[in-house]
Amino acid sequence: MSSPLASTVIDSVLFRDSFGTQAMRELFSDRALVQRYINAEIALARAEARVGVIPDDAADTIACESRIERIDFDHMRRETEIVGYPILPLVHQLVAMCGDAGRYVHWGATTQDIMDTAVALQVRDALDLIDGDIRELRSILADLAVKHRDTAMAGRTHLQQALPITFGYKAAIWLAMFDRHQQRLAELRPRIALVEFAGAAGTLASLGDRGFDVQRAMAEELKLGVPATTWHVARDGFAEAVNFLALVTGTLGKIALDIMIMASTEFAEVYEPFVKGRGASSTMPQKRNPISSELMLAAAKAVRQHAGLMVDAMIHDFERATGPWHAEWIAIPESFILTAGALNQAKFALGGLTVDAKRMTQNLGISKGLIVAEAVMMGMAPFVGRQQAHDIVYEACRKVNEHGGTLAEALAAIPVVMQHFDRAAIDRLTDPANYLGLAPQMVDRAVELSRGIA
């Protein structure tokens, strides 16, 4: 068990699995990061050997002897605190491991080359995890949309009942957002998964005319792309990645807010899956709090802050920054871990969501038919004209608000209405389930389009 001395929710024994996932935490752990530093150094050595910059046997030795099991992390930490960066401390240990071949470790590279390449590898792998989570969530949302294609409920604008919709329509809107996120992820990958190898000021001067060859070979070793130019101070790629995560968690926050309001006692339309004790109160035994939604919303707010930090951190001075780069070290790992945690909570909450269709029907009826006043007006308009229909329905709605009863009853008491409609027709016009517009068909279209997204 981890030490109970962790001070953030990311590593906390108590909170880490509420705000993150083990897989994403492991990917951004110190061990995983240092392993990617080593991978970058090995790839550099192999690339330089391939193009004749260093001896083949030196590259073989570096690849064989540079093992993370041999790293003294305490010594590396102490030296990092002095140097300010972890690469020189790492290189010192790798050189010692590799004997005579150690002279070729880090040949022609600069600290940021190795660190940026390692983070590019982390982000590439982290996006794979996010990709998988989004695919699972899209499947869950598609199932919800299809299952509740025709489950009528009140649509709400400005927190007031507006017009009838279906719960499947609501789920289809959520699905379409994640379909777009899936597309965004695919589009941003090649802009982010790039090798960084350019030397001290980014000009590859230390390798003469072999620089591009080494850079290309190193990219091939690591299965990364080759950038058009050095990106030491061009941070739009990583900023885009974190802002993408802000979009994902923003969508999760919107879903969470809908669920939390719909799960309130007065609405009582949906509930997160029941797990004994989950969402319980220490003083109120009746409580069933929407815990997953609360965590999703919190993550959305935190990642949004990091998205802004990453945009601010794009402002670097000249060819090597004096500070903004360090902000990325905070924002990138936390954003990915929080996003993974929020997606995990969403899969749980939506995968087992309890939908109370009966309560949705009851809530549709609390306006006593007023929610479909537009439907009645449009139904009457061909017979009496649009404006007269509006005035008739307006008066009927006023009577319901002032004197009670239903819209159907108020309409049945108006002679001009009864000239054109019998009571059965009025009942049909004032039934919310008969005024869903194209909501069910939008579900069909959204699900079909989603199936076509790779």
Roughly how many angstroms between the first and final C-alpha of the chain, as a whole number? 40
Q: Is 71 left (phi over 0), alpha (psi -120 to 50) or beta?
A: beta
Cβ burial of 189 (10 Å; 0-12, 13-18, 19+) is middle
The active-site residue out of 2, 3, 7, 158 is 158
Rounded-to-integer distance, Cα 356 and Cα 333, Å: 39
Residue 341 CB neighbours (<10 A): 26
- C-alpha Rg value of the chain to the nearest Å: 30
Determine the Cα angle at 132 with ends 126 and 136, to 5°: 145
* Angle at which helices 111-147 and 324-351 cross, to 10°: 20
Rounded-to-integer distance, Cα 32 and Cα 38, Å: 10
Rounded-to-integer distance, Cα 397 and Cα 161, Å: 14
Cβ pair 433, 419 in contact under 8 A? no
The active-site residue out of 75, 281, 326, 420 is 281
Rounded-to-integer distance, Cα 262 and Cα 15, Å: 26
Strands (E) located in 225-353: 270-271
Rounded-to-integer distance, Cα 221 and Cα 369, Å: 67
What the block records as the tokens of 440 is 């069910």
Helices (H), 313-404: 324-351, 357-364, 373-384, 386-403
Q: 306 an active-site residue?
A: no
CB-side neighbour CA atoms (13 Å) of 293: 23
Residue 172 CA: distances (Å) to CA of 124, 178, 255? 29, 10, 12
Q: 281 an active-site residue?
A: yes
CA dihedral 78, 79, 85, 89 (to 10 degrees): -130
What DSSP line would sit under 160-219, residue for residue?
A: EEEEEEEHHHHHHHHHHHHHHHHHHHHHHHHHHSB-----TTSS-GGGGGGHHHHHHHHH
Closest by Cα among 240, 242, 332, 302 to 28: 332
DSSP assignment, residue 284?
-
- Catalytic residue annotation: 158, 281
